[in-house]
Chain A
Amino acid sequence: MFRRVATAGLVLVACSNPAHAQKQTIGAPPEASNMRLVGTSDLQARSAYQPTIHHQGDRWIAYIGHHGGTDDVPAPVNPMTGQAEPNGTSILDVTDPAHPKYLRHLPGQPGKYEAGGAQMVRICDGKSLPKADPNAVYMLRTFGGEAHEIWNVADPANPVLVTRLGGLKDTHKSWWECDTGMAYLVSGAPDWRTRRMTQVYDLSDPAHPQKIRDFGLPGQEPGSTGALPTELHGPISTGPAGNRVYFGYGTNKGGILQIVDREKLLNGPKEPTPDNLRFPEISRLPMSAFNGAHTTFPMLDMPIAEFAEDRDGKTRDIVMIVDEAILNECTEPRQMVWFADVTTEARPMMISSWTVAEASGKFCQRGGRFGAHSSNESMAPVYYKKIAFIAFFNAGVRALDIRDPYHPREIGYFIPSITEATDKRCIPIEGGERCKVAIQTNNVETDDRGYVYIVDRANTGLHILELTGPARAAAGLPRN
């Protein structure tokens, strides 16, 4: 009897004081503050990269890109087909977020980890693209590292291939303007000196892609010599209205935020000479050699409450920069979140940073990566310029109040429980390696309803969350 009470007491302590948990165990509850689990999908135990949520007719569809398979399971079995399929894209109906319905697994490039799969995915409606089939819904995805593909997913359970742009290497996190069709495809062109650069395409008619130009930093172009500037990770465009493209270079090293004039990029001289590559650039913000720029998320014209009485500078143009941690168990400098004030575009300045406090969960001891990876990229009003969600690997997802970007503040978090499917993460030690199992929240996205979707790199699947309590109030959402 005493033993049972004591055990119950220990569980109670563990649940009420989750910040001090060091090692995750199967069956233990998730760790959470002001965030609540709504629904889950195991995603067939596939390592997940990027979720994109699309309001499609009267349904909400989640498209989730996957990395390649693992050494242990190179091609997991799809229970819907009974076949072993190389990781690609999971397509789920999340109209009822408490009961996600798995519709289809679309296989990707065979290969393990970064060498296979179909990590990236973006969606545009045909009716919004200038020259597309208005009845179609288009999914742009990478195919491993070797190609970009466009599928018609009007029937998300039965995608139809429309276009493939192949012969590439290291394709990655692209951006697609759904109102113009302009796409900034992250690729490795065979003749460029860098693994990843930008290939600008007009995809307003997805069936007939039109190449606009290649773009990168001077020194990356074919025929150049000398030091190679940091490779691209991904861009985000504000479209013709904002006329800016924010390029992020680097993952965990030598990051650069590059601010580019979109009009000059699209219509300026296109031959990849150093002068032509410099022509559309407005400015750069070089970061420390310790940090990269995985995500560069623009939040322009933000009113800053603290500056409300100032005659000038009441609103600021902000870019949130998220680094990517890539090494397990804190064997690299901390990768975190940075906020840059780019109001004076020629002189962007870093104004603040934010990280999960390591001691709050002893995250360096838990296993796997600890540090930032990515933010939500939805610009839907529900959260835009108010709340940002940051995927922080073994620290789960973190909700930040960014209304004052000079002083970002955490208002909630959720660290999912591990499952039997959660894969191990190892580090070399003398004479071998040591492995631990921990959640690895890789990416996060939100939908217009306010649901938060996080996916796991270590095969734990999809978790659909919602804000609760003060965090929900901060977003202006009705009480739940």
Chain B
Amino acid sequence: MRLGAAIAVAAIMLGASGVGAWQLAPPPADEAVHWREIAWPFPRDGWPAGRAFRCDGACAGAELYVRAKRGFCNCDRGVADDDEVDRVADIDLINPRFAAAAPGEAMGLGDMRGRARRYDLDMPDGARRAAIGVAVSRRCDLLVAAAQGRGEAGAMQRAALAFLQTQAMNQWIVAALDGR
């Protein structure tokens, strides 16, 4: 109940701020979601591991991966186009042969601006999954998130973005971008 309220508040804040191109309508009560933290599932690469979560509830089975990439952004232009989202958003960690499902959209996460884009993934087991890549910038630093799941992309997208707007995640994001 408290989580649902928090998501609703976050969604209202985003809508009121006018920064999000995506409107985050609060999910119906029977679609309440819970993101449970899991171990970072990818091998070490150029950036420190971030945090990973698995969704219970309306987006059951979906996974969300979030991390900071400090110094990896064009300091002046930010995340200006979809190529930048393709380049940085960690979709390649899930499957390097990703293909975009549609042009991305401008969005905001708190004070940070950037873009989000939907992808189709053909997994090695033959399954088809939807994915979302998010990249927003603060000066020369990036906050990236990737979500994947078998369910409907829009629901996963709304749930993931609402979770990223929670106070707890916001505090972690600020700390990660500060290198703490």
Chain B neighbourhood of A231, CB < 8 A: 87
Given A194-B83, A331-B70, also A290-B178 (CB < 8 A): no
Q: Which of B81-112 contact A (CB under 8 A)?
A: 83-84, 86-87, 91-92, 96-100
* Set of chain B residues within 8 Å of A170, measured between Cβ atoms: 74
Indicate with 1 or 0, residue by residue over B139-180, a CB within 8 angstroms of chain A CB atoms. 000000000000000000000000000000000000001111
Docked CA distance A115–B77 (Å): 8
Q: CB distance A253 to B72 under 8 Å?
A: yes
Looking at chain B's contact residues, is the secondary structure mostly helix, strand, loop, or mixed?
Answer: loop
Residues of A within 8 A of B98 (CB): 225-227
Tell me whether B179 and A115 are in contact (CB under 8 A).
no
Q: Does A114 contact B99, Cβ atoms closer than 8 Å?
A: no
B71 at the interface (CB under 8 A from A): yes
Contact of A331 among B46, B97, B179 (CB under 8 A): B179
Q: Does B45 make an interface contact (CB < 8 A)?
A: yes
Residue on A nearest B45 in the bound complex, by CB: A289
Tell me whether B71 and A326 are in contact (CB under 8 A). Answer: yes
In the complex, whether B30 has a CB less than 8 A from a CB of chain A is: no
Most buried by B among A170, A227, A252, A331: A227
Query: Shortest Cβ distance from B142 into chain A, in angstroms?
Result: 12
Digitize A327-359: 1 where CB-to-B-CB distance is under 8 Å, 0 elsewhere: 100011100000000000000000000000000
Flag the segment in A27-35, A126-134, A304-312, A426-434 that touches B. Answer: A426-434
Cα A331 to Cα B72 with chains together (Å): 13
**For B100, what are the chain A residues with a Cβ–Cβ distance below 8 Å?**
225
| Count class of interface residues, chain B | 20 to 34
Q: Does A111 count as interface, using CB distance less than 8 angstroms?
A: yes
Instruction: Tell me if A112 is interfacial: C-beta within 8 Å of chain B.
Output: yes
B87 touches A228 (CB 8 A): yes
Asked whether A252 lies within 8 Å of B71 as measured between CB atoms, the reply is yes
Closest Cβ–Cβ distance, residue B45 to chain A (whole Å): 4
Q: How large is the interface on A (under 10, 10 to 19, 20 to 34, 35 or more residues)?
A: 20 to 34
Q: Which residues of B contact A252 (CB under 8 A)?
A: 71
CA distance A88 to B46 in the complex (A): 33
In Å, the complex CA distance between A326 and B178 comes to 15
A124–B97 alpha-carbon span in the complex (Å):
43
Q: Which B residues are in CB contact (< 8 Å) with A115?
A: 75-77
Q: Which of A221-272 contact B (CB under 8 A)?
A: 225-228, 231, 252-254
26 contacts across the A-B interface (CB closer than 8 A): A112-B76, A115-B75, A194-B83, A194-B87, A225-B97, A226-B96, A226-B98, A227-B92, A227-B96, A227-B97, A228-B83, A228-B87, A252-B71, A253-B46, A254-B46, A289-B45, A289-B46, A327-B71, A331-B70, A332-B70, A332-B71, A333-B46, A427-B179, A428-B178, A428-B179, A429-B178
Residues of chain A lying within 8 A (CB to CB) of residue B180: 430
Which residues of chain B are within 8 angstroms of A284 by Cβ–Cβ distance? none
Residue A195 is within 8 A (CB to CB) of chain B in the complex: yes
Partner-A contacts on B (CB < 8 A): 44-47, 70-72, 74-77, 83-84, 86-87, 91-92, 96-100, 177-180
For chains A and B in complex, what number of residue pairs have CB atoms within 8 angstroms?
64
A451: Cβ under 8 A from any B Cβ: no
User: Apart from A226-B98, A226-B99, A228-B86, what 8 extra A-B contacts exist at CB < 8 Å?
Assistant: A112-B76, A115-B76, A194-B83, A225-B99, A228-B87, A254-B45, A289-B46, A430-B180
| Residue of chain A at shortest CB distance from B83 | A193
Instruction: Give A355 Cβ to nearest chain B Cβ, in Å.
Output: 18
Which secondary structure dominates chain A's binding surface?
loop
| Contact A327:B70 (CB < 8 A) given known A193-B83, A228-B87 | yes
Set of chain B residues within 8 Å of A326, measured between Cβ atoms:
71
A113 at the interface (CB under 8 A from B): yes
Q: Which residues of B contact A194 (CB under 8 A)?
A: 83, 87
Binary interface encoding of chain A residues 409-441 relative to chain B, with 1 for a CB under 8 A from any of its CBs, else 0: 000000000000000000111100000000000
Q: In the complex, how many angstroms separate the beta carbon of A87 from the nearest chain B beta carbon?
A: 14
Find chain B residues with CB under 8 A from A290 CB.
46
Of the candidates A111, A195, A231, the one having the most CB atoms from chain B within 10 angstroms of its own CB is A195
Give the residues in chain A near B44, CB-CB below 8 Å.
Answer: 289
A39 to chain B, nearest CB (A): 33
CB distance from A296 to the nearest CB of B (A): 19
Give the CA-CA distance A327 to B47 in the complex, in Å: 13
Which residues of the partner chain B approach A332 to less than 8 Å between Cβ atoms?
Answer: 70-71
Q: How far is the CB of B156 from chain A (nearest CB, A)?
A: 21
Cβ–Cβ < 8 Å partners of B87 in chain A: 193-195, 228, 231
